[in-house]
Amino acid sequence: MRNLFVLGLIVLLLSACVTEKVYKPRDPDRAAELNAELGLGYMRQGQYRRAMSKLEKAIEYDSENIKALHYKAELHRRLGQSDKAGEYFSLAIDLAPKDQLLLINYGVYLCGVKKYDEAIDIFTKSLEDPLYENKARVYENIGLCRLWQGKMNQSESAFHQALAINPNMSTSLLELAKVRFDQGKMREAYEYYNRYIGLATHTPESLWLGILIEHGRGAKNTVASYKVKLKGRYPDSKETKLLKKFESQGKL
């Protein structure tokens, strides 16, 4: 009986050792790269928990994998974890100080934490790089950053520069439609908005703006259509709540 007990204890100990064994890939660098790309894919799909798991695994395999550090910084930014985002952006930039995409995303992060001038400085340096191709996106980022900063003229100018390079920059079109609506320039607001809806999928924000613009133009059927879409697709959005408030007050 004693021998059986000892044998059973040995089996249990061996089982514990097996469960605690850490998997080590033959090629850690390749494994890190694959996990980083999987993490990015999950992040784009909005599956943030899975994305975090893959990115942490990538960094476990290679703590200096720039993509993994970059994507993890961006994931923390999207999750509203500003301190963590800043930490991982710094780690990535220390390793790749000339990576333009990394720097631009860092600029977006800086805008989000209200470090506007630092962000604009990064964006401006990207524009000075003759090899960087997506300058329309940089101008659009400058426009958004200046908008959040409250510098409306500079914001509008940047959106125009983005569209001069690429007429299909949907965010710039939507923001300029808002500007023209606020200025009471309904024809121009409609023109920008009409170009926007030909390029982008509606959001609660864009549907609400569409309702306001079309109401100003007296297009009752289009207003009714946008109302149905807003209430049906985004019943819990702040824009739907605002619409119901306006309707109850007889404003729409």
Q: Where are the domains of the chain?
A: 29-97, 176-252
pLDDT band per the 50, 70, 90 thresholds, residue 8: very low
How much is the average pLDDT of 78-104?
96
Mean pLDDT of the chain: 91
Q: Check whether 4 has a pLDDT greater than 50.
A: no
pLDDT band per the 50, 70, 90 thresholds, residue 20: very low
Q: What is the pLDDT of residue 131?
A: 86
| Among 139, 90, 133, residue whose Cα is nearest residue 110 | 90
Spell out the long-range contacts of 110-118 with Cβ–Cβ below 8 A and sequence spacing 24 or more: 111/141, 111/144, 111/145, 111/148, 112/77, 112/82, 113/82, 113/86, 114/148, 116/145, 116/146, 116/148, 116/149
pLDDT band per the 50, 70, 90 thresholds, residue 23: low
The CA-atom distances, in angstroms, between 25 and each of 37, 56, 61, 128 are 17, 15, 8, 42
Q: What is the pLDDT of residue 10?
A: 43
Q: Distance between CA atoms of 89 and 78, rounded to whole angstroms?
A: 13
Q: What is the pLDDT of residue 101?
A: 93
Q: What is the pLDDT of residue 243?
A: 97
How much is the average pLDDT of 51-66?
97
Q: What is the pLDDT of residue 24?
A: 75
Q: Distance between CA atoms of 145 and 29, rounded to whole angstroms?
A: 36
In words, the CATH class of domain 29-97 is: mainly alpha
Q: Check whether 17 has a pLDDT greater than 60.
A: no
